[in-house]
Structures are given as structure tokens and as C-alpha cells.
Amino acid sequence: MMRSLRGFLRAAGLALMGILIAVLLLELTVRILNLAPPASSPGWFWKSPDPQYGWQHQAGATGRWFNPYNEYNVEVTINSKGLRDVELDYSKAADEFRILVLGDSYVEGLRVPLEQTFSKVLEQRLNAGNSPIKFQVINAGVSAWGSDQALLWFRNEGIKYEPDLVVLGFFPGNDFLNNSEALEVENFGSVRKPFFALENGQLTLHYYPFDPQQAPKPTVTTPIKPTVGVADESPSAAPLQSWRPWLHRNSALYRFVTPMLRESVPPLARLLVRWGLIEPGQEEIDAALPADYIPVTYGVYRRPPTEQWQDAFTLTNALLRTLDREVTAAGARLAVVILTAQEQVYPALWDGLLQRYPAMQDKEWDLEQPNRVVYSILDGGNIPYLDLLPIFRRRAATSRDLLHLRHDGHWTPAAERLAGESLYEFLVQNRLVPVAGSAEPSAAPTP
């Protein structure tokens, strides 16, 4: 009997030792390959609330920006004027041609170093020629900004930079939504910024200056944040909760595996939440959603568009026409570059969304519909534009270079370069920039 017990304990000890060695080897591998994100939290570069725009960059902010999958890990600096760019003066030199790039997180480009953003790729290409002119491309993108905030910022700040050309990066995936108070509130649950409205055919600005205490309170809130799990209710209900900070701080393997579990094995992730080993995350959000839930943002692809989306299209038309007029009045030209959503470039991702949200399967969808709406707006205003979607689709079909980050969804360095190169060719071909051996920029470029 004792001999059998000793044999069992010896076998159990060897098994435990083998597991421990395997875990240590995995930990070492994750560290050597730099697969896990840092133990510290990402930097924060925005101030909110802000009376002008709802939120904007915090001037002088610095830090690292990364996601739980460690798809990127970038040192970020916001300059003294609140731009993700080098230090700049408002006034420009006599031999300088300035391009101001407006937009949201795609323009901001926090997933790559500043010099790899498409704005700076464009600047490098323009300055690589023999032109006596110095080109400066200014990155004025801010995460989650709509065309309305870009318009307000141009009025307040952008005009001070004396731009010769203004390029608006328009992201059909959410810019229409961001411009619409009704859709934005449905998506986020509250009024978070000033909004324009069309009243008697004229743009009227509401909630300006913005004060969150004066903004209307929502009556219905979409569950877009993790629900509180049992792990947060009491220590007795989450017996391993005290281990979580130590594991996150000391184990790269823990930080690497946790997001993978959330994505690949949600039931196990929810169990670990209840044990207290991981914090509530996307798996808790998904579990709280009703069976008929369809993310608001995908309504831009719905055929036919709902009345709210039609109103957003109409409002966006007025905003872009107004921006064009004000840019022209400032002595500059406006051009638009239409950005890409990952589900537009990679059809398999859209198929995955239909599986994730079954209520979408009996609806009709058109992934090119928002782009056609943008064409109609810009053609009607004679505003030159470049649509990157066909360019990105061709590259995705012929190259193994990933253009959109798998988890984050934003552009990779390869996509930033492709966008910058494509924009350079577009601006030169349409004579929107002066180049060596050419005349002045054209007064009437073609899309």
C-alpha cells in the first residue's frame, strides 16, 4: 500500500514538474519573441470633455500606444499645439507648400511611428523630387473625430497654418455615424460633443461650447461596456482575484494568452472572469447582447438605408460642402481621400461578422454603398477625391502584406505606405501640388 502511494506521489510530482517546466519554457518563449504587450497601461493622449470639440489631443502628452494583442507598440508624442506631429509654427516660409490632413484615427496613425503615417510618407515623396519648394504635410487627425469636428478645428486652428491644400481623410465606416447625433447617441449612449443639425437647409451648431452637464441624458444605452462579472462583486465569489495583478505584472505568458482566450474560447474566458483570474472584457459584452443585436456602425452598409442613415448622408453632404467653401475662402483647395474598412478589403471578415451577429443574416448588405454616397457628395460639389478601396483590394489580392491589423482593424505600416504613395500619385496627376517642371496647381482638378 505504502509502495503504491509513493509511486503515485512520485508520478504526480514528475507530472507537476513537467507542467511547471513547460509553463516556464512558454513564458521564456513569449518573452524572447516579444509576443506580449507591456505590463503597464498604454499612454493616454486626449483630454475630455473639451468645450470646442468634445475631446482633443492633450498638448505635450507622451507615452506608448499598444493593444492587448501587441500588434503594435509605438512611442507617441503630441506637440505643443495638440497635433500628433513635429513642432510647427503657424506661419510658413515663402518657399513652403503646406498640406493640412484632417480626419480621425486613420489620419492620426497611432499604430505606426509618425514617420510611417501616410501623411509623412506623402511628405517624404513630395520632398524627394527636385522642386525648389519645401513641402510640409501636417497631421491633424484625432481619434473618433467626425467631419463636424474637423470643420470646427479648421475654423479655430487649421486656418492659422496657412495651408495651400487641405486633404480630408474620410472613413465611410464611421464618419457618417460620427456626424449624426441620433446615430452617435445610439452607438455610444450619450451626447459627447457638439453636433451640427440641418434646420431650414442651414447648418446649426448645438451644444457649443460643449458642457456634458448641459447635454441631454440618454433614455436607452447600448451595452457597449463589459458587464460587471462575479469577480468584481466579492472576494469570496472570486477566490483567485488577488492573483490577477501579480500575474499581469510578472507573466508575459498571462498577458499573451488572455486576449486569445477571450477571442477563441469565450466560455472559458467567462469562467476565468468569475474565478477572478481575468477582468471582464469582450466576452462579457457579447454575452450581454440580445439575440437580435446588430452593431449600429454596420448600418452604413444596409440596403436600403434607414431614414436615420439617409439623414446622416444628407448632413454629411452639407458639412463637406461647408468645409470646401471655408477652405476655398482661406485661399486653399480641398481634396478628399476615402479610407478603407477591413471588412471591405477582406471579404472573409464580413462573413465572420455575419456569423457573429446572426440577426444580420436575413438583411441585405452592400459594402460599397457608403463609398458611392461619398462619390455623389463630392461629385456634386466638384471636390476632387481618391478612393483607396479598389487600390487596397488589388494589393490584398496580389500581395501577402497585411493591410489591416487583424484585431485592431486599423492600417499596418504596409497600408500606410500604400496610401501615402497612392495619394502622392493622385495629387501630382491632378496638379493639386506643384512639382518640378510643372505649372502651378490646377484650378480645376478632376477626381
Alpha-carbon distances of 14 from 1, 25, 259, rounded to whole Å: 20, 16, 30
pLDDT at position 439 over 50? no
The residue type found at 239 is: P
Instruction: Give the pLDDT band (50/70/90) at residue 2.
Output: low
Which three cell numbers mark 225? 461596456
CA distance 335 to 165: 8
Three-state DSSP class for residue 203: strand
Q: Is residue 34 part of a domain?
A: no
Asked whether residue 17 is assigned to any structural domain, the reply reads no
**Per-residue model confidence as pLDDT tens digits over 299-328:** 999 999 999 999 999 999 999 999 999 999
Q: At 230, is the pLDDT very low, low, confident or very high (cuts 50, 70, 90)?
A: very low
pLDDT at 8: 60
- On whether residue 442 sits in a domain, the answer given is no
Specify the pLDDT at position 63. 98
The CA dihedral of 71, 386, 90, 46, to the nearest 10 degrees, is -30
pLDDT given for residue 178 in this prediction: 98
Residue at grid coordinates 489580392: 397
Is 382 within the bounds of a domain? yes
- Per-residue confidence band for 345, with pLDDT thresholds at 50, 70 and 90: very high
Please tell me the predicted confidence (pLDDT) of residue 10.
Answer: 73
**28 has a pLDDT exceeding 70:** yes
21-30, 259-268, 371-380, range with the lowest pLDDT:
21-30
Q: Is the pLDDT of residue 45 over 90?
A: yes
pLDDT tens sequence across 272-304: 999 999 999 888 888 888 999 999 999 999 999
| CATH number of the domain encompassing residue 145 | 3.40.50.1110
Q: How many CB atoms lie within 10 A of CB 255?
A: 21
The answer, yes or no, to whether residue 109 has pLDDT greater than 60, is yes
Q: Is 185 exposed, middle or buried (0-12, 13-18, 19+ CB in 10 A)?
A: buried
Give SS3 for 414.
helix
As a whole number, mean pLDDT of residues 171-200 equals 96
Tell me: pLDDT of 134 over 70. Answer: yes
For residue 121, pLDDT over 80 is answered with: yes
Residue 320: name the closest of 366, 372, 369, 384 by CA.
384
Q: Would residue 311 count as lying in a domain? A: yes
By the 8 A CB rule, do 387 and 375 touch?
yes
The answer as to whether 235 is a domain residue is no
Q: What is the mean pLDDT of the chain?
A: 91
| Residue 202: how many other CB atoms lie within 10 Å | 10
Q: Judge whether residue 231 has pLDDT over 70.
A: no
CA distance 227 to 270: 11
Residue with grid cell 483570474, as numbered in its chain: 277
Task: Transcribe 429-441 into DSSP letters.
Answer: HTT-S--TT--SP
Q: How many CB atoms lie within 10 A of CB 161?
A: 24
Give the per-residue pLDDT at 78. Answer: 98
Higher pLDDT, 269 or 159: 159
DSSP conformation letters of 135-201: EEEEEEE-TT--HHHHHHHHHHTGGGG--SEEEEEE-TTTHHHHH-HHHHHHHHSS--S-EEEEETT
Check residue 235 and give its pLDDT: 42
Range of the domain at 309: 46-223+293-429
Work out the average pLDDT over 396-418: 97
Is 9 contained in some domain? no
From CA 180, how far away is CA 314, in angstroms rounded? Answer: 10
DSSP 277: S
HSE of 18, CA atoms in CB hemisphere, 13 A: 6
How confident is the model at residue 203, as a pLDDT? 98
Q: What is the pLDDT of residue 350?
A: 97
pLDDT of 225 reads 44
In a domain, 424, yes or no: yes
- Residue showing cell 506661419: 91
Q: Which amino acid is at 71?
A: E
Overall domain count for the chain? 1
| Summary count for the chain: helices (H), strands (E) | 16, 13
